[in-house]
Amino acid sequence: MPAFAHPATAAQTFSPRKRWAVLAVILSADVLDLLDSTITNIAAPTIAEDLHGGEALIQWLGAGYALALGVLLVAGGRLGDRYGRRRLFLIGITGFTLASIACGLAPAPGAIIVARLVQGAFGALLIPQGFGILGAVFPRDQIGKAFSAFAPVMGISAVGGPLLAGVLIDADILGLGWRSMFLINIVLGGIAILAAAKLLPEDTGDPDVAVDGIGSGLLAAAMLGLLSGLITGSTSGWTLVPIALVVGGTVFFGLFCHRQRTAESPLIKPSLLGNRGFTSGLILGVVFFAAVSGILYALSLFMQNGLGYPPLNAALGLAPIAVGIVIASIASYRLIGRLGRDLVLIGLAITLTGTGWLLALVLTAGTTVGAWALVPPVLIIGLGMGTCFGTIYDVTIGDIGPREAGSASGSLSAVQQLSNAIGAAVVTTVYFTALADGGEARAMTHSLAAVAAVTVVCCGLVRLLPRKALPQDHQ
């Protein structure tokens, strides 16, 4: 823990009341991040219509934030180690709040896309600092209790994000419409900034910690090229420009991979990529997380544009997914030690069941499907997602040594965010391509069929994972 020279001493200087106040500050930052990453699931069609951004804006609203967050997440953690976690936390929360204001005031599609990218970048500076700060404030015998607060708070936030978006859009406070979703961060972010400046412990950082800026830059160029090409091609046709963007992104990704093999302090340790279980879990995670994050966007589009739901009703329609995620995540934590990779397969099977049920409903009823008929399959999809979310990566690092577990977990968290960006772009591309050929019902069936096919592929990868998860005391 290089950013805190004497964590045990630091913990002793904090009263119990102040420790829990610090935890509240860290939780508030994570809540802001989760709220702002989920609100566009509901708000994207409204924002695109208001700013005349079309399908491309809908895709970028989902992909842009997760892209910037994922690309810079590992580098953000190392910057905190080098320059001090308190300093990076304050920079991150301040920049995040200012970028939120820029989102709320955006006059055009390009402006809000850039603001979302900046918001994600500052989120990548903010989020990785939390666990390190808590490790310096809480004694070892209490740190587990502090970390246990994250699951229920994050679960409530996952449910509350889309609902908050729907309520604020429908309320149209001061005529701001969707803009109030971002401008509310003036208050929330402002309180968090003041509390962090007052409560977080001082730390000096470690100037010997290396940050691979070149690797981060190559990864950013690769992902921007690939996603820009995919979105441009799906909305404007596959002309020379989107093809060149995809080719350029592929070249930069190749350069990034080369950099990881040759850099002194790469973002992903080469030894991790040489571990079959880790690489298999990495691939499975990329594919699965991309599919399920994309289906959330497709469901929101179908509910609002196909079924005619207002934003609040669409948020309520998606709520069973969040409920299912919370329930299954809590249950999986208790089962992972006994079931290991079999629990991943169970989660994939549950996800496939819900997806197949929903596909059958849309095939038979189309845009006349009733709201209550959607609840069971949507809840089942959420249960499957919740079963897989924690277990895939817990199993993936099952045979990673304790010294590499931290690096592996950080890399996997970043990859999950990148998968969210990829999924938002790919599944909505499938949706809009099918929409042009046959309407909303056809678009939804194609999207669900693609997710089902991907889930089947993921089932085949499970046997390549380690049999058991890493013991809890090594994570």
* Angstrom distance (rounded) from CA 383 to CA 462: 18
Using DSSP's 3-state secondary structure scheme, residue 239 falls into coil
Burial of 150 (0-12, 13-18, 19+ CB in 10 A): middle
Give CA torsion, residues 448, 420, 475, 79, to 10 deg.
Answer: 180
303 DSSP assignment: I
Q: In angstroms, what CA-CA distances link 76 with 264, 358, 416, 419?
A: 18, 39, 15, 18
* Angstrom distance (rounded) from CA 87 to CA 46: 36
> Among 66, 16, 76, which residue's Cα sits nearest to residue 36?
66
What is the 3-class SS of 305-357, one letter each residue? HHCCCCHHHHHHHHHHHHHHHHHHHHHHHHHHHHHCHHHHHHHHHHHHHHHHH
Q: In angstroms, what CA-CA distances link 452 with 99, 292, 325, 446?
A: 36, 10, 18, 10
* Angstrom distance (rounded) from CA 398 to CA 386: 19
The answer to whether the beta carbons of residues 127 and 3 sit under 8 Å apart is no
Burial of 274 (0-12, 13-18, 19+ CB in 10 A): exposed
Q: Per residue of the chain (475 residues), what is the pLDDT tens digit? A: 333 434 444 555 677 788 889 989 998 888 888 888 888 888 888 999 999 988 889 889 878 888 888 888 888 888 888 899 899 999 999 999 999 999 999 999 999 999 999 999 999 899 888 878 887 888 877 776 776 666 667 667 766 778 888 888 888 888 888 999 999 999 999 999 999 999 998 888 888 888 888 988 998 899 899 888 888 887 777 899 989 999 999 999 999 988 888 888 887 777 777 777 788 888 888 888 888 888 888 898 999 999 999 988 998 998 898 888 888 888 887 888 888 889 999 999 999 999 999 999 999 999 999 999 999 999 999 999 989 877 887 788 777 766 666 667 677 777 777 888 888 888 888 888 888 778 899 999 999 999 999 999 999 888 888 887 655 544 4
Residue with tokens 């580098």: 75
Query: Cα–Cα–Cα angle for 284, 418, 294, nearest 5°?
Result: 75
The answer to whether the beta carbons of residues 42 and 319 sit under 8 Å apart is no
Cβ neighbour number for residue 144 with a 10 Å cutoff = 11
Predicted TM-score of the model (pTM): 0.83
Query: Cα–Cα–Cα angle for 37, 246, 77, nearest 5°?
Result: 40
